[in-house]
Structure 1
Amino acid sequence: MIRFGIIGTNWITEKFIDAASKIEDFQLAAVYSRTKEKAKEFAEKFGASTTFTNLEEMAGSDEIDAVYIASPNSFHSLQAILFLQNKKHVICEKPICSNQKELSAMIQAAEENQVLLMEAVKSTFMPGFKAVQDHLHKIGDVRRYFASYCQYSSRYDAYKEGTILNAFDPKFSNGSLMDIGIYCIYPLVALFGKPQEIKASGLLLDSGIDGQGSILLKYEDKDAVIMYSKISDSFLPSEIQGEKGSMIIDRISAPEKAEIRYRSGEVETLVNETIENSMYYEAKEFIELIQNGEVESRVNTFANSMIVMEIMDEVRKQVGVVFPADQQ
């Protein structure tokens, strides 16, 4: 049984708990919140026995083995390092932190303390993505990767009315790239590694974060085109184009179905059974890694997370998005 602590009492945390609860060896043991009332309310709702309002006490507690961090992005690094230094395993919501410097410190803490650190990008653990990997060879030499994730934010209306919520506040290391652009970038890196060149453009909002953006990435034998937005919707699927055919992916953020359209006109549908709560797969991976004594995922590796962060740092530099975390 792996006893979990939770940081962040929001909808994504609730979804993670729901997914992880389907795994026999998951136990929710403790909840952290800044207020006793919120911690108690959340703990009672999900059956946790212990609450904390002090992170140092929680990190030093013998009542947890691991922690799921779903606080604002700007808090991820310091919180993760605190728990890693206390020999607790850490699964941290995407993006894992604000920049490369923070990620380097997190990886160092994990390696020094021989505990597991994993970025919670769910898509790369899903059966749909595994199907993409397993059948990619069928489309021949890959020449282009196209990914689109554009979703009008429910918080954008408040922003336009003058209320800047966390999603549009640079002090929390937020914005469309960090929030949803990463879902386009991570699969690219998992499939093809580090690009040689990056060209980016985006729309800066008055708050200093990006409302939307586009990225062109060049590899030796292929290119990649990425579009993301929190201020408009898109209903386009994503696509990997090869010389023998193209692979169409329904949703790059949570791939459930893909099909290959061959140049001959033949269509091959790739369907893998997917559990309704797609966060199940990342939770299962994390728990199994702990049980097997592993200190790094072989899917969401440190190298992949670092390449993704390097890409996002460069994109932000070109677009002009600067976080307070970059100055520290």
Structure 2
Amino acid sequence: MIRFGVIGTNWITDRFIDGASKLDDFKLNAVYSRTEEKARDFASKYNVEHTYTTIQELADSDKVDAVYIASPTAYHCEHATACMKGGKHVIVEKPFASNQQEVQAMIDTAKQQNVTLMEAMKTTHTPNFKLIQESLAKIGPVRRYVANFCQYSSRYDKYKEGIVLNAFKPELSNGSLMDIGVYCIYPMVALFGGPDRVKATAYMLESDVDGEGTVTVDYPSLNGVCMFSKITNSAIPSEIQGEKGSIVIGKLSDMNNVKIVYKDGSEEVLNAGQEDNTMYYEAKSFIESIEQKKLENDINTWEHSLKTMRILDQARKEIGLVFQADEK
């Protein structure tokens, strides 16, 4: 039984707990929030006894073996490092951190403390993503990767009213590229590695974060296009184009509604029969890494996280998106 603490009391933490609770070796045992009231309110939903209002208390707790971190991106490195130094295994929500320097510092700490560290990119753990990997040869050679994830944020309505919430604050290392674009970029890295060239464009909001944007990349034998937005929706699927056909992905964030469309127009459905809550798979893989005493997950490797963050860093440089964390 792995006793978990959670940092963050928003909807994504609820989703992680829901997915992880399907595992026999998961136990939610502690909740952190900056305020005692929020911590206790969240803990009461799950009949959890232990609550903490400082990260150090959680890091030092003998009631916790592992920590799920869903705090704002700007705090990922700080929170992960503190917990790992307290001997805790850590799974950190995407994006892993604010920049490559922070990601490397987290990896170094995991090695020093001999604990498991994993980025919580759920899509690469799904059974359908494995089918996509195995099906690349059917459509190859691959010539184009097109990832599209545009999801209008309810927080944008508040933004237009003059209320800037966390999703649009650069001091929290947020914005469309980090929150949404990473869903497009990370699977590309998992499939094809790091690109040779990165270019980016974006629509910048007055709060100095990007509302929407596009990242284009070049590999030796294929091109990639990643489109993302928090201020528009899109009905267009994602696609991996090969000379023999294309793999079409209806919902990139869960790797659902996947099929191959061959040159002759025939289709092949790729469906491994996934759990509705795909966070189940990342939780399962993380716990397996802990139990197998692996510091690094076999699927969401540190190299994938570093290569993804290099792309994010370069894209931010291209569009002029600067975080306070870059100045440390």
TM-score (norm 1): 0.99
Equivalent residue pairs, number: 328
Alignment RMSD (CA, Å): 0.8
Name the SS for the 1:208 alignment partner.
coil
2: distance between equivalents of 1:63 and 1:252? 36
Residues 178-204 of structure 1 show CA distances to partners (whole Å, capped at 9, x for unaligned) of 000000000100000010011110011
Using the size of structure 2 for normalisation, the TM-score is 0.99
Letter in 1 for 2:148: S
State the AA in 2 paired with 1:207: S
Counterpart for residue 156 of structure 1: 156
1:266-300 deviation per Cα after TM superposition (whole angstroms, max 9, x unaligned): 21111111111111000111111111111111111
Q: Which secondary structure state, in structure 2, belongs to the residue aligned with residue 130 of structure 1? A: helix
The structural deviation recorded for 1:46 is 0.8
**2:229 is the counterpart of 1:232:** no
Per-residue CA deviation, residues 206-259 of structure 1 (Å, 9 max, x unaligned), is 000000101110000110011101111101111111111111111111112311
Q: Cα deviations across residues 2-24 of structure 1 (Å, max 9, x unaligned)? A: 00011101111111111111101
Aligned mates of 1:36, 1:144 — CA distance in 2: 50
Match of residue 95 from structure 1: 95
SS of 1:180 mapped into structure 2:
helix
Which amino acid is 2:128 matched to?
G
Contact 1:28 / 1:47 at 8 angstroms: preserved in 2? no
1:222 is matched with which residue? 222
Partner of 2:38: 38
**1:43 Cα offset (Å):** 1.1
Aligned-pair distance for 1:264?
Answer: 2.3
On the 8 A contact 1:128/1:257 being kept in 2, the answer is no
Q: Distance in 1 between matches of 2:3 and 2:105?
A: 25
Give the letter aligned to residue 74 of structure 2. Answer: S
Distance 2:251 2:185 in 1: 13
Percent identity among equivalent residues? 54
In structure 2, the partner of 1:306 is 306
Does 2:137 match 1:126?
A: no
Question: Could you tell me which amino acid in structure 1 is paired with residue 275 of structure 2?
Answer: I
The answer on whether the counterparts of 1:73 and 1:95 sit within 8 Å (CA) in structure 2 is yes
Inter-partner Cα distance in structure 2 for 1:169 and 1:85: 29
Displacement of 1:154: 0.5
Stretches of structure 2 lacking an aligned partner (at least 5 in a row): none
The residue that corresponds to 2:315 in the other structure is 315
| 8 A Cα contact 1:196 1:220, kept in partner | yes
Q: How many angstroms does 1:58 deviate by?
A: 1.3
Cα deviation digits, residues 40-79 of structure 1 (max 9, x gap): 1111111212111121121011110000000111011011
Aligned-partner residue type, residue 290 of structure 1:
I
**Where does 1:1-328 land on structure 2 (aligned, <5 Å)?**
1-328=1-328
Distance 2:163 2:306 in 1: 33
Question: What is the one-letter code of the residue matched to 2:251?
Answer: R
Q: Deviations over 1:140-160 (max 9, x none)?
A: 200000010001110001101
Give the ranges of 4+ consecutive aligned residues of structure 1 lying more than 6 Å apart after TM superposition.
none
Deviation, 1:321, is: 0.5
Structure 1 counterpart of 2:207, one-letter code: S
In 2, Cα distance between equivalents of 1:168 and 1:157: 11
Q: Tell me by how many angstroms 1:325 deviates.
A: 0.8
CA distance in 2, matches of 1:320, 1:19: 37
For residues 63-117 of structure 1, give each alpha carbon's deviation from its aligned partner in whole angstroms, at most 9, with x where no partner exists. 1000000011101101100111111100000111100011111000001111000
Return 5+ residue gaps in structure 1 as ranges: none
Does structure 2 retain, via aligned residues, the 8 Å contact 1:249–1:257? yes
Cα offset, 1:265, TM superposition: 2.5
1:298 & 1:32 partners in 2: Cα distance?
A: 28
Aligned equivalents of 1:254, 1:196: Cα separation in 2: 27
d(CA) in 2 for partners of 1:168, 1:80: 23
